[in-house]
Amino acid sequence: MDAISVIRTKRDRGELSPEQIDWVIDAYTRGEVADEQMSSLAMAILLNGMNRTEIARWTAAMIASGERMDFSSLSRPTADKHSTGGVGDKITLPLAPLVAACGAAVPQLSGRGLGHTGGTLDKLESIPGWRALLSNEEMLHVLDTTGAVICAAGDGLAPADKKLYALRDVTGTVEAIPLIASSIMSKKIAEGTGSLVLDVKVGSGAFMKTIEDARELASTMVALGTDSGVRTVALLTDMSTPLGLTAGNALEVRESVEVLAGGGPADVVELTVALAREMLDAAGIKDADPAKALADGTAMDVWRRMIAAQGGDPDATLPVAREQHVLTAPASGVLTRLDAYAVGVAAWRLGAGRARKEDPVQAGAGIELHAKPGDTVTAGQPLLTLHTDTPEKFAYAQQSLDSAWDIAPAGTAHESTPIVLDRIA
């Protein structure tokens, strides 16, 4: 076979055969198919889609490109969670130690930022000394001794996805449902977790802009997981407004620690507890109360042990950007909209994300929110604070925020959107 014939098949809206899928994934992993050819195929998939048979085979080929992990030696049931990506979505950070504090083992394989959305590994790497890259033996040791581990997928786990994941980020093909579903589920199935809860984001700051697309993606992933013997549940959650009050790397770590200390923004706490309950239920743990474990400090204890076990210093001072710029409210009234996508793009432009897969990120870059929809604001009060080490980026970041918010006259009623929109199992 050759890459050009595979590209043409999907370009012309044909169905890729099992043999074509197996070959192109294997050849790309080995370097026989070049990045530019896989970019072309990914774009064809984005534009023309895949049917369920193709997606299942593509996922299986990604899994077959590497090894499969085994957690059967652990004394606890395993439960994992994956978010499809959002703005200010730091939920994994407090969630993994919280679920571990309630009795499950959480093997959390996470990724880096994709486009305007933040990456869990990028956030945690702002903690001095913390390591994302662990061997399988190290991962199992941390999991066994602390109950939770957050790390990068090893080179041996779905290596095809590792290459394709980075490529999608810089070629405008992140939003393709077949590629999102196969990317997430190939890693999660190969990882060997017994149960999985999916947080599928919906709204302007998500890759899925409509509830219909989110349901399609969630249903696809739930079916892939269930067919592979992984108990899989999905929550559709709102991403029209950033989660919490920060978007950026060290900024979000700081906010996550506030949540683990029993405080933090109400929306972050609500979603963390909701996902924890789903994970514990999927793992068969019925008598634990995640809200109590968050309030009484036991989740914080697990966090500190988990960070230290991966070389990090939980007491270290987090990086702070060298420059800040404050945007103020142009009028008094009620903030009725704060667009998640605009905030995400601005944080990315400030240095919290990357334009090329080899680009570094700034640990201190990002955006701090001083108001959320429903809040009353006064003209001239701080609305957003932009953080970066490179002040020449302020103007570019502000361009994405020009129409990011609406302020209605004082007294205007604001109807908030629930965080959890639907559940698919």
- Residue 275: name the closest of 92, 149, 89 by CA: 92
Asked about 82 being catalytic, the answer comes back as yes
How confident is the model at residue 118, as a pLDDT? 81
| Torsion 317-321-325-327 (CA) sign | negative
d(CA 225, CA 240) in angstroms, rounded, equals 27
Asked about 281 being catalytic, the answer comes back as no
Residue 390 dihedral angles phi and psi, to the nearest 5°: -125, 90
Residues 130-159: pLDDT tens digits? 999 999 899 999 999 999 999 998 878 889
**In order of start, what are the domains of the chain with their CATH numbers?**
3-49 (1.20.970.10), 79-309 (3.40.1030.10), 323-408 (3.90.1170.30)
Active-site entry in 83, 110, 126, 183 = 183
d(CA 351, CA 119) in angstroms, rounded, equals 13
Active-site entry in 90, 162, 168, 231 = 168
How confident is the model at residue 45, as a pLDDT? 98
Active-site entry in 90, 116, 187, 387 = 187
d(CA 247, CA 255) in angstroms, rounded, equals 10
Active-site entry in 89, 161, 169, 238 = 161
Active-site entry in 10, 57, 82, 90 = 82
Asked about 187 being catalytic, the answer comes back as yes
**What single-letter DSSP state applies at residue 409?**
P
How confident is the model at residue 403, as a pLDDT? 94
- Residue 254: name the closest of 303, 305, 306, 290 by CA: 303
Asked about 168 being catalytic, the answer comes back as yes
How confident is the model at residue 284, as a pLDDT? 96
How confident is the model at residue 262, as a pLDDT? 94
Region of 325 please: left (phi>0), alpha (psi -120 to 50) or beta: beta
Joined together, the tokens standing for residue 311 give 């070389």
pTM score = 0.90
Asked about 416 being catalytic, the answer comes back as no
Q: Where are the beta strands (DSSP E) in 43-173?
A: 79-83, 106-110, 148-152
Joined together, the tokens standing for residue 183 give 């990317």
How confident is the model at residue 269, as a pLDDT? 97
Q: Quick one: how many helices (H) and strands (E) in the chain?
A: 16, 13
The residues of the chain scoring below 70 in pLDDT are 357
What is the maximum span of the chain, computed from C-alpha positions, in angstroms? 66
**What single-letter DSSP state applies at residue 212?**
H
d(CA 78, CA 143) in angstroms, rounded, equals 10
129 Cβ contact partners less than 8 Å away, ≥ 6 residues apart: 311, 312, 313, 316
